[in-house]
């Protein structure tokens, strides 16, 4: 059995022009959805921002009948519901003004999930696939739950790699839970439920499926987590709307950069250029930014070392005199190698960028190995 107020929330959701923001406002002022449903129109119209278009359908009997049918359907199909006032409602999402007043879900959904949202293009390239594979392999063993949209491409890859690495994953859908879209992901949806994940939607069986649903779905993906990662997207891709929502919710957004000639990196590059997303440099620094504990052996402290060009004799000469325990100053290196300062500095910078040496304060230099 569901709480009585869920019946009235479902009835109110069907009213034209009411929307989640106004519905939350009315429930907050009146104390419950039932109180809103039973309030005289005059009382509702006295509330600031509430007009006749919003209140015209409130109280219609047929809407309540539809709501009763929906609750019976949910009971029959083992679909759970949670309202924005319930302690079990996802905590990050509850702070968003336009969050759904009511969520439908199957599986495991709690308020304290340590979530990470990951989105990208449906036409994922091998570059994006490899990134998702390496990221989620690196997060294996950490206490996280991924969030994506069950679409083809990046979403499917996120859910599959999460399952492969024993990471629970949430799939936010753009239609009611009685329909899996795309149909090719029915088996994936089943596996998500079998591995402590969940299928989530704000839509009822009587809601029409439209393109707008997918855009609305994106705000839930953005709202469910404190962090959002965009893997690949073209200019104007659907992931950009997710980023805009995440920015409005004050979320941390990261984007995977790529070649300017690669269509599905251009959107990410633009997000970075517009300061809408932080550039991902490597997996380790990204995970550090997410403040997640991971298996330390996956990310050794030493930077990768670039092999020196054997023709660069002066680079090797400097390495030969440096020690990994006792630092040498710039002047000492110049004296030992007989290389002038103006030539020495670019070589030292090369060696530092290649991972061979480190520069300490006061222009003191140590070898890394």
From CA 295, how far away is CA 254, in angstroms rounded?
22
Pairing of strands 357-360, 364-367: antiparallel
308 — pLDDT class (breaks 50, 70, 90): confident
| pLDDT at site 292 | 67
303 — pLDDT class (breaks 50, 70, 90): low
From CA 284, how far away is CA 332, in angstroms rounded?
35
| pLDDT at site 298 | 46
Q: Is the pLDDT of residue 56 over 50?
A: yes
CA 30 from centre of chain: 34
Instruction: Answer positive or negative: Cα dihedral of 123, 127, 130, 136.
Output: negative
What size, in residues, is the chain? 369
Asked if residues 227 and 254 have their Cβ atoms less than 8 Å apart, the reply is yes
From CA 104, how far away is CA 70, in angstroms rounded?
11
DSSP state of 298: G
Q: What is the mean pLDDT of residues 64-78?
A: 95
**How does the average pLDDT of the chain come out, rounded?**
90
Angle at 151 between CA 169 and CA 167, to 5 degrees: 15
- Say which residue the tokens 């996956």 belong to: 298
Percent of the residues in the chain that have a pLDDT greater than 70, as a whole number: 96
- Quick one: 21 exposed, middle or buried, by C-beta within 10 A (0-12, 13-18, 19+)? middle
Q: Is the pLDDT of residue 76 over 90?
A: yes
3-state secondary structure of 147: strand
Asked if residues 209 and 173 have their Cβ atoms less than 8 Å apart, the reply is no
Asked if residues 239 and 121 have their Cβ atoms less than 8 Å apart, the reply is yes
Domains of the chain: 1-75 (1.10.150), 115-298 (3.40.50.450), 313-367 (1.10.10.10)
Q: Is the pLDDT of residue 300 over 70?
A: no
Q: Model confidence over 103-161: pLDDT tens digits?
A: 999 999 988 889 999 999 999 999 999 999 999 999 988 889 999 999 999 999 999 99
Q: Model confidence over 178-227: pLDDT tens digits?
A: 989 999 999 999 999 999 999 999 999 988 888 889 989 999 999 999 99
């Amino acid at each position: 059995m569901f709480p009585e107020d869920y019946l009235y929330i479902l009835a109110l959701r069907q009213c034209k022009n009411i929307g989640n923001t106004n519905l939350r406002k009315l429930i907050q002022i009146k104390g419950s959805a039932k109180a809103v449903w039973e309030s005289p129109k005059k009382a509702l119209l006295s509330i600031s921002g509430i007009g006749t278009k919003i209140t015209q359908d409130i109280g219609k009997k047929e809407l309540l009948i539809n709501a009763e049918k929906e609750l019976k359907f949910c009971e029959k199909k083992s679909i759970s519901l949670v309202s924005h006032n319930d302690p079990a409602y996802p905590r990050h999402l509850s702070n968003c003004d336009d969050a759904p007043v009511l969520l439908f879900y199957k599986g495991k959904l709690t308020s304290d999930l340590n979530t990470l949202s990951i989105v990208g293009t449906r036409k994922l390239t091998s570059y994006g696939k490899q990134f998702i594979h390496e990221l989620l392999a690196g997060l294996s063993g950490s206490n996280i739950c991924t969030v994506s949209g069950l679409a083809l491409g990046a979403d499917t890859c996120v859910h599959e790699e999460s399952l492969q690495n024993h990471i629970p994953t949430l799939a936010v859908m753009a239609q009611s839970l009685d329909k899996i879209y795309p149909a090719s992901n029915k088996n994936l949806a089943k596996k998500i439920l079998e591995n402590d994940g969940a299928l989530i939607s704000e839509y009822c069986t009587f809601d029409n499926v439209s393109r707008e649903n997918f855009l609305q779905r994106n705000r839930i993906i953005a709202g469910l987590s404190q962090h959002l990662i965009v893997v690949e997207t073209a200019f104007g891709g659907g992931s950009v709307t997710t980023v805009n929502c995440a920015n409005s919710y004050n979320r941390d957004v990261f984007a995977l950069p790529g070649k300017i000639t690669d269509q599905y990196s251009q959107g990410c590059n633009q997000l970075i250029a517009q300061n809408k997303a932080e550039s991902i440099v490597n997996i380790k620094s990204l995970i550090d930014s997410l403040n997640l504990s991971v298996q330390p052996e996956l990310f050794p402290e030493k930077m990768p070392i670039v092999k020196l060009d054997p023709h660069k004799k002066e680079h090797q000469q400097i390495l030969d005199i440096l020690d990994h325990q006792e630092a040498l100053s710039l002047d000492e290196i110049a004296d030992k190698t007989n290389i002038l300062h103006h030539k020495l500095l670019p070589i030292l910078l090369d060696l530092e960028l290649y991972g061979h040496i480190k520069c300490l304060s006061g222009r003191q230099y140590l070898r890394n190995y």
